[in-house]
Structure 1
Amino acid sequence: MRPAETPLPPSLAPSPAQTPPVHAVLDAKFLPPAGQSIQVLRQALCEAVRRASGQLVLVSAPAGFGKSTAMAQARERLEADGVPTVWLTLDRADNDVSRFLSGLSEAVNRLGLDSGSGDAVQTLTHAQAPYALFLDEFEAVHEPAVLGLVREVAEHLPRSAHLVIGSRQLPQIGLSRLRVRGQLVEIDADRLRFTASDVMDFFRQRAPAQVLDAEQLRRLHQKTEGWIAALWLAAMALERSDNPAEFVDRFSGSNRAVADYLAEDVLARQPEAIRRFLLRTSLLRQLDASVCAALNPRTDCAAMLERLDAEHLFLTPVAGAQRTWRYHSLFADYLRTQLEREHPGEVARLHLAASGWYESQGRPVPAIDHAIEGGDYPHAMDLLDEHAEAFLEQGRMRLLTRWFSSLPAAQLQQRPRLQMVAVWATGFTRGPWEAMDLLDHSGAEQSPDPYLRAHANGLRPMLLAMQDRAEEGLRLGRLALARLPTGQRFADTALLNAMAHITTISGDAREAQQLLDAARHEHGGGSTFNRMYTESLEGQLDLLQGRLRHATARFRLAVDATHAVNLHHTHGNAWAGVFYTSVVYEANQLDQAEHLLNVYLPLARDVGLPDHMIVTHAMRSRIAFLNGDVDAAAMALTELEYLGNQRKLPRVVASAKLERARLLQAQGNAAAAHDELVRADDPTLWAREQQQRLVVHDVQYMALARLRWAVAFGDAGASIEPLRAQLQAATAQGRRRRALVLQLLLGLALQRTGDSAAAMQETGSALQFACQEGFMRLILDEGPAVGALVQRYQALHDSGQVRDPILGEYLQRLLAAFGPLPTEPEVGAELAHGVLEPLTRKEIRVLQLLVEGYSNSAMAEKLFVSDSTVRTHLRNINTKLGAHSRTQAVAIARKLGLLG
């Protein structure tokens, strides 16, 4: 509630104006600028958008160049062609992934697309029907996860679809890659400027009775350089000028100073009532009579807005059933500056009036925003006192962090309870190190306030575990558990969850389970955030024990806990979302896993949790390699290593090197893979890891990586006993997932030493368990050699030696996912003496890239040639080598020593 000690003056108190319905507030984001009576048709720009199906159209220019108007005209043209369109205006709140995806989902509904998948991005990238999506004011978006989603849509836009983005800045969505692929149409400031004929058309519409000769119009066009905002303001000034020719003569320049001069000239000529209304309402993002009345209680705001609209003064109408407007951003900036200059004492009171109005409508988010923007931090903190814990329970950490980062630290220190909420939010957005620093300086643990002590009690063990300091977290956490209950349900539940995580790492699954049960009982379903935390931790327990199906269900529940459910589960918290992505990847749903990574990898990177960073970057690398983008695969691991070094996390650095060794091994580069393993070998680090149970290292740790390399390139026979020992230990510990991988490698080692019967026994045992739980990528990622084992085992199954129809169907799916497996090439007489015709240097290079795993399109980009040229080279290589497939060509080339 508004504090009693700061009442609003009567002139600023909210009036009992009609309140807009909730749906009207939501609909406002989908309303394009309404068509105006005075408007120059941009025929060429509309046609450029119309022709650009399957390409991103980027309309990028500073304020005042008519981006939104040109986009709105293009939208009308597409609708006239029968193309369904939707307009979405973005704002800074769309940096929240959940908020953005909700808007995108509503856009899909309005387009009438088949959204059976429940995922907006998937629907947009797989749509068969034509559509046009317009995203305006894109400069408001800077969150990497949101940018990644838009990049995904742009890169996979269907041929019949249009994506049009309006922005003041060049968005970070991979424009250079789109440009190289011919998937980008750019409409910049130069293309948006009015031509001389556009200027004549504009002034003919604006002031038909006013005589400006052709030479004056030419000079005005030359001086403004076609800048639409300056021309519009000049037209308004000319309508009130006694000597148009003199005005044109003294007009000069086309910069911001000119815009300010013209705006001031136009504003100064308005009646005082209109001028006062314009200034007072300039701080509102959306204008309708109800909210304007809160800032102008003695004014007929509905009539005022209609008058301003009729006179084309500053307002841009927004299409929709309810009469709504907004100020053009260029003029809004000017009006706000003028308000602060003329009435500095009014700004805070006006923001407070807006804040109070939104508060009265039950809309705390804009209420808090206006309080902060108006510099009324005490009122903002009063509102936060009332609502912050509810947002905390809901897991809206990024929203809370945005607010707290805007509040003066000195004033926030006077609200120690809000400080505790800020520590929670910071830990899950900016990382545990910054949160720990805030906690250390808060003095909460020594406070006489039991609320503060309770939250500090829950925070410190959790933050230690997030910093990869589980041993310290375990020691302090046990002391913290002894203090429960504290009466603070959120903090107590978070502590129980944190200790479940820590005891899982320490290897005590039973105690971890008991703590999770206690956490469920404590929060009782009241905290969606803690429900997410609990379910994701139990999913990790399931995963460590090989219960993939249970883990998948748990992670799905966890992701959906904090937001409305959608079928592809992209709205969740990164803590749960990363592990849900990992099980989607494990099920070999690579497109969906890549889509989820676009959401969760940037969030994981921002928070900086070691396991989350390792999991997401390793998946990104593997998927890129499978898609033939070897450079992107390597880049993901380079970024992971950099992050580990930057944040002083040696386990992250070593994991990046292990994964790089695996990538090099997949490329057949034995020496480089071995060198990377040597670089990753930190005996102290890996000895510590062997005493812990971390999901990320269950199937990717130093000893296993060395055995994998030895089986592939070294002495397979010498690897058998170490593999058996590792397998026995994993089985004894109940680590069925780890045991599965070890059995596969053991089967491969036995096969390479000639013991086929034992190899099939180990392989069969592993595959039968994998079939029960639905494991796919654990097997597929071990590469074609394991694929050959699966193929041999399928032959046994099909011969009737193994009778299990469910297993048979699983083996078929597995082999289909492996794709063509390499066979030993038959070297005929013509090859015994070498290649029939020598390969050219370019063909040798293509062959090398083929061996490294590059796709046709990736090779084309790397060699600066077209896809068709790459296909020609591949056909020539097959002809010269007598090969019938890519895999056979590689095998023959290796046998002939053509690859060095």
Structure 2
Amino acid sequence: MLLFPPDNNQQNAMRNTLARHEPPSFAFPLVRTKAYQKLTESGLPPTKVSQIIAPTGYGKTVLMSALYNFAVSNGASSYWVCLSDYDDSAERVLARLEYFLAPRGESYYRSEDVHRSDDPIEQRIERVTSLFSSTDEPVFLFIDNLDSCHDETLSALIEILISRTSDKFYLLLAATRQPSISLYRPMLEGMVSQYGYEDLMLDSDGVRAMFTDTLNSRLNTEDIDRALQISEGWPAALRLMQIILGKAEDPSALLQVFTGADVDLAQMLNDQLISGFEESFREFLFSISLLKSFTVSLCQFLTSSSTAESYVKRMISDNLFVIPLSRNRDEYRLHSLFREYLLGQARQHISESRRGKLLLRASQWFEERGRWTEAIDYALEAGDSKVAVECLERVAQNFVRDRGDLSKYINWVEQILAAGTEPGLETDYWYVWALVFHRRYDYAARQLDRLSARLETDSSGAEPEMRRRVEVIRITCATYTDDFGAVEQMGMDWLAGKQDDDPFDVATVSCAVGVHFSNQFNFLRAREYFGDAQNSIGQANSAYGAAWVAVLSAQVGIYEGDFGHSYDKANETLSRIGSFAGDYSGMSSTVSAWAALTAVETGRDAEAADLLRASMDRLQTHGLLDTAAHALNCAVKLWASPLGDGISISKLRDIASGFPWRLSIMLSCFIVQRLLRLGRLDGALEEARRMGLSADAISEKHCAITNFLIDQTLADLDLAQGRFAQAEVRIAKAIELAKAQGRSGHLVELSLQQMTCAMRGTNPENAPRYFTRAISYAAKRRYIRPFRDRADLIAGLVNETKPKSWGFADTKEKEFFAEICQSLPIANIAVLEQLDGLDAEPKLLEALTPRELELLHLIDAGLTNQQLADRLYVSVATVKWHLYNLYNKLGVANRSSAISKARSFSLISH
């Protein structure tokens, strides 16, 4: 796939978006209503939230614009959002607020974006609220036309904006009718003020201000009172009166015929206004009423009229309910009251056929300017799916990858399918990706089958390439749904046919197969495929893709137990992606989960807690099951500790339930193990029963990592219940397999389980040997968490064991042992003295004799005691005596430790 820099049309679309985030400017002077006075008299609104609700035509947008300008003139940070018909969900409203977070300037669309998912709502809200609370100065957010959104979840968004922002944040909301939000909590706290039509209606002074001096000079006081009486202060009606009376020969006489309620008044005023226009102008107004917004160029194209420009200028000069949408005044909309009236008239005067043609011309105009949302919407409104299909086929790729309107895209395609029209292949392909991004895997699979069936009859020549691209989606779906048997077969087949495929697709499939082999503990094969992924993503020159390859290939190091190196790699990746993805991206969340696990396993609990907070809210919307498992594992390890505030097991279960069942099993194992470390055996047994954790739960249907976790958890339960013989057998089998597969991290846990079994069983003399073995596996890998989880048990062992019994092989192991002991209640004086000496330069307790030096070289060569005796012409007993003295001088207890210590003193070569 190629990069897609925005063309001129896209840049124009960007400028139009900018216009929607600034208030309109009005040609007429502001009339200061009661609402304006209340909201400005003290310099700041009286409450955090100001809710302005009044019928159409009461000047809510005029008031909000005036308040915005007032805030800006006083140096306050002010943000403007005017919702439209497109903003029909809370997610769309949030997306409008996120506009203020986006960088300005040109944008490039990269092919790796197809593999991103939507950010979770909670994290997106956090970003927005952080922006509005980032200064100690007053901040104003204006949201006009709030009732455009009927989403019941809008209340939650508004309440969060209120509760999570500072006291200097002011929210001003305007709506024609009561929006679908409930603010009873902020209201109970006195944080909300409401302003209705009585606060926006005009009094006699307001009427005079609106009519201006030219019209006032032709009216007397009784006329003004009459206008106020029949309009009841309704600004829209008075504005219509101003237009009509200003053109009347006798405005005073004309006022006498106005009677009726508000609805009748609006109808009469509009009739009076329209009837005075020539037929061609009326026809023009009816036609453009179909448009949600318009420009002179659009009106000319829509009506094919040479007078369109003059008509638009006439509407502006006569202030015919035209509201500019941009600072340059090159795009406008009709006042909603006026547009509603014109739409009603259009239904009577424009045939259905003519209406459809006008909408299609509007679609064409927007398409030519790269404004695809409007182009497709108008085409579908016209009932012409063919045009909508052609538009979508051209922009589907960018539209889905841009990530902001996946729901709208899905809705468009489903409208087309419902109309019995077949979307284009590209549209269909990206439709399936959009479903995958929404985690609708089952439905995506059905749509993939439908798309594959289409390809069987395709005659365009695109079938071979498209089929391979479709297979990438299948492999991705299989990965996300934990169907690793399919991943292995389809992935390896796909890679075997690799030719000129997109490097990102090659990396995606290679990573999928690599994850499969990682979960089976086949690290050699996993590294092979992750290496291929690394090479491919290098060709794509994709920082985002490189981060994905890094986080997925980290599975190997984690299952091998190399947490020290993995910790460094995770933080390096996290730092690198910050430069292109931002701290709040989904990728940052996924890498943070990886970094959090490595931090907690290497004893950095406070750091792990911070990383976990950066990760948790996005677990359900970004990453694979295995990357989510990192965060859940870390969360459970911190749960029920001072750093675990806010960690809820029920929330963790909810997160796991959004993934295949394997993650819930893994979570249950984490919970059982944590409960046992906390000494809560009853809770652990209950959790095991709840999830059915038993020997029968180990199955060939599961991948190797899941079976290991279950087996390890059952061994812990056996130890906790005193079933030592049963535990010994289970642990011994697990150790044999872990050694064969090179899982050093798991050997740490298993060796400590052996230590526990020995200490609590009948062979406590073997405990130091198992403990030393665990240290030997863990020291080089900085795997410290399992030792801290068993602190009390290890403290008892250390206090009862002679220092020389440990037999550590090198200084690194001894330092690691010292680090573990620092947080333990050590009472053994000899051990304390040994630990105190670790910071000093290493030195021999006593110089070695020539015979002892000779022994060192011989045992380094691998000679047995009998071979040593034969070589030195002494007895085996004498050899043992010399070795005993040698070990004492070196401060060790066995041959391997003696060799390691001798090398550290340079007594023998490495």
> Is the shorter-chain TM-score for this pair beyond 0.5, marking a shared fold?
yes
Contact preservation (8 Å) 1:289, 1:302: yes
Verify: 1:360 aligned to 2:368, yes or no.
yes
Look up the equivalent residue of 2:688 and give its one-letter code.
L
1:46 to 39, 44, 60: 39
Contact preservation (8 Å) 1:500, 1:511: yes
Contact preservation (8 Å) 2:53, 2:197: no
- Give the 3-state SS of the residue equivalent to 1:34 in structure 2: coil
CA distance in 2 between counterparts of 1:639 and 1:100 reads: 29
CA distance in 1 between counterparts of 2:10 and 2:589 reads: 41
CA distance in 1 between counterparts of 2:468 and 2:372 reads: 27
1:687 to 692, 698, 701: 698
Contact preservation (8 Å) 1:316, 1:326: yes
- Give the 3-state SS of the residue equivalent to 1:132 in structure 2: strand
Look up the equivalent residue of 1:357 and give its one-letter code.
W
- Give the 3-state SS of the residue equivalent to 2:823 in structure 1: helix
Aligned residue in 2 for 1:194:
198
For residue 99 of structure 1, report the CA deviation from its aligned partner.
Answer: 6.2
Aligned residue in 2 for 1:461:
475
For residue 83 of structure 1, report the CA deviation from its aligned partner.
Answer: 1.9
Aligned residue in 2 for 1:881:
none
CA 1:353/1:454 → structure 2, altered by over 3 Å: closer, same or farther?
A: same
Aligned residue in 1 for 2:687:
676
Where does 1:651-666 land on structure 2 (aligned, <5 Å)? 651=662, 653-654=664-665
For residue 433 of structure 1, report the CA deviation from its aligned partner.
Answer: 0.8
CA 1:150/1:438 → structure 2, altered by over 3 Å: closer, same or farther?
A: same
CA distance in 2 between counterparts of 1:798 and 1:82 reads: 67
CA 1:601/1:205 → structure 2, altered by over 3 Å: closer, same or farther?
A: farther
CA offsets 1:362-388 (integer angstroms, 9 cap, x no match): 555554444344433222322333333
- Give the 3-state SS of the residue equivalent to 1:86 in structure 2: strand
Aligned residue in 2 for 1:25:
16
Larger mean Cα displacement after TM superposition, 129-138 or 460-469: 129-138
CA distance in 2 between counterparts of 1:689 and 1:339 reads: 68
Look up the equivalent residue of 2:662 and give its one-letter code.
R
CA offsets 1:409-442 (integer angstroms, 9 cap, x no match): 4655363453233223322224211111112233
Look up the equivalent residue of 1:134 and give its one-letter code.
F
Look up the equivalent residue of 2:823 and give its one-letter code.
R
Aligned residue in 2 for 1:251:
261
For residue 639 of structure 1, report the CA deviation from its aligned partner.
Answer: 3.9
- Give the 3-state SS of the residue equivalent to 1:407 in structure 2: helix
CA 1:593/1:446 → structure 2, altered by over 3 Å: closer, same or farther?
A: same
For residue 455 of structure 1, report the CA deviation from its aligned partner.
Answer: 3.3
Contact preservation (8 Å) 1:707, 1:723: yes
For residue 396 of structure 1, report the CA deviation from its aligned partner.
Answer: 7.5
Aligned residue in 1 for 2:445:
436
For residue 59 of structure 1, report the CA deviation from its aligned partner.
Answer: 5.5
CA offsets 1:266-289 (integer angstroms, 9 cap, x no match): 555544455444444445555444
CA distance in 1 between counterparts of 2:73 and 2:630 reads: 48
CA distance in 2 between counterparts of 1:89 and 1:494 reads: 40
CA offsets 1:796-821 (integer angstroms, 9 cap, x no match): 7997455499xxxxxxxxxxxxxxxx
- Give the 3-state SS of the residue equivalent to 1:87 in structure 2: strand
CA 1:140/1:462 → structure 2, altered by over 3 Å: closer, same or farther?
A: farther
Look up the equivalent residue of 2:513 and give its one-letter code.
M
CA 1:682/1:580 → structure 2, altered by over 3 Å: closer, same or farther?
A: same
Verify: 1:511 aligned to 2:525, yes or no.
yes
Aligned residue in 2 for 1:829:
none
Contact preservation (8 Å) 1:657, 1:677: yes
For residue 676 of structure 1, report the CA deviation from its aligned partner.
Answer: 2.9
Higher gyration radius (CA): 2
Verify: 1:568 aligned to 2:583, yes or no.
yes
CA 1:218/1:703 → structure 2, altered by over 3 Å: closer, same or farther?
A: farther
- Give the 3-state SS of the residue equivalent to 2:209 in structure 1: helix
1:314 to 316, 321, 326: 321
Aligned residue in 2 for 1:103:
99
Aligned residue in 1 for 2:393:
385
CA distance in 1 between counterparts of 2:64 and 2:713 reads: 54
CA 1:797/1:233 → structure 2, altered by over 3 Å: closer, same or farther?
A: farther
1:579 to 590, 598, 601: 590
- Give the 3-state SS of the residue equivalent to 1:24 in structure 2: helix
Verify: 1:425 aligned to 2:439, yes or no.
no
For residue 678 of structure 1, report the CA deviation from its aligned partner.
Answer: 1.5
Aligned residue in 1 for 2:552:
537
CA 1:627/1:315 → structure 2, altered by over 3 Å: closer, same or farther?
A: farther
CA offsets 1:265-317 (integer angstroms, 9 cap, x no match): 65555444554444444455554444444435545666654543443322223
CA 1:194/1:737 → structure 2, altered by over 3 Å: closer, same or farther?
A: farther
Aligned residue in 1 for 2:25:
34
CA distance in 2 between counterparts of 1:782 and 1:101 reads: 49
Q: TM-score of the superposition, structure 1-length normalised? A: 0.65
CA distance in 1 between counterparts of 2:138 and 2:435 reads: 43
Question: How big is the alpha-carbon RMSD for the aligned residues of Structure 1 and Structure 2?
Answer: 5.8
Larger mean Cα displacement after TM superposition, 329-338 or 29-38: 329-338
For residue 640 of structure 1, report the CA deviation from its aligned partner.
Answer: 4.1
- Give the 3-state SS of the residue equivalent to 1:537 in structure 2: helix
Look up the equivalent residue of 2:590 and give its one-letter code.
F
CA 1:51/1:397 → structure 2, altered by over 3 Å: closer, same or farther?
A: closer
2:208 to 204, 211, 215: 204
Contact preservation (8 Å) 1:459, 1:491: no
Contact preservation (8 Å) 1:556, 1:569: no
For residue 336 of structure 1, report the CA deviation from its aligned partner.
Answer: 4.8
CA 1:419/1:59 → structure 2, altered by over 3 Å: closer, same or farther?
A: same
CA distance in 2 between counterparts of 1:152 and 1:28 reads: 26
Contact preservation (8 Å) 1:458, 1:491: yes
Can you give the 5+ residue segments of structure 2 that lack an aligned partner in the other structure? Answer: 1-7, 106-125, 600-606, 796-818, 827-831, 842-910
CA 1:636/1:418 → structure 2, altered by over 3 Å: closer, same or farther?
A: same
- Give the 3-state SS of the residue equivalent to 2:445 in structure 1: helix
Contact preservation (8 Å) 2:751, 2:774: yes
For residue 641 of structure 1, report the CA deviation from its aligned partner.
Answer: 6.9
Aligned residue in 2 for 1:185:
191
CA distance in 2 between counterparts of 1:800 and 1:436 reads: 63
- Give the 3-state SS of the residue equivalent to 1:580 in structure 2: helix
CA offsets 1:816-860 (integer angstroms, 9 cap, x no match): xxxxxxxxxxxxxxxxxxxxxxxxxxxxxxxxxxxxxxxxxxxxx
CA distance in 2 between counterparts of 1:252 and 1:29 reads: 30
Look up the equivalent residue of 1:432 and give its one-letter code.
Y
CA distance in 2 between counterparts of 1:596 and 1:62 reads: 45
1:405 to 382, 392, 414: 414
Verify: 1:548 aligned to 2:567, yes or no.
yes
Aligned residue in 2 for 1:792:
823
Look up the equivalent residue of 1:159 and give its one-letter code.
D
Aligned residue in 2 for 1:84:
77
CA distance in 2 between counterparts of 1:142 and 1:540 reads: 44
CA 1:769/1:137 → structure 2, altered by over 3 Å: closer, same or farther?
A: farther
CA distance in 1 between counterparts of 2:97 and 2:752 reads: 40
For residue 32 of structure 1, report the CA deviation from its aligned partner.
Answer: 1.4
For residue 37 of structure 1, report the CA deviation from its aligned partner.
Answer: 1.5
For residue 486 of structure 1, report the CA deviation from its aligned partner.
Answer: 7.8
2:353 to 325, 328, 345: 345
Look up the equivalent residue of 2:29 and give its one-letter code.
S
CA 1:162/1:765 → structure 2, altered by over 3 Å: closer, same or farther?
A: farther
Contact preservation (8 Å) 1:432, 1:467: yes
CA distance in 2 between counterparts of 1:748 and 1:408 reads: 63
Can you give the 5+ residue segments of structure 1 that lack an aligned partner in the other structure? Answer: 1-16, 110-117, 806-900
Larger mean Cα displacement after TM superposition, 755-764 or 63-72: 755-764
Where does 1:770-849 land on structure 2 (aligned, <5 Å)? 792=823, 800=836, 802-803=838-839
CA distance in 1 between counterparts of 2:52 and 2:755 reads: 57
CA offsets 1:637-688 (integer angstroms, 9 cap, x no match): 46447657xxxx5435546666776898899976455423321125599524
Look up the equivalent residue of 1:314 and give its one-letter code.
F
For residue 203 of structure 1, report the CA deviation from its aligned partner.
Answer: 3.0
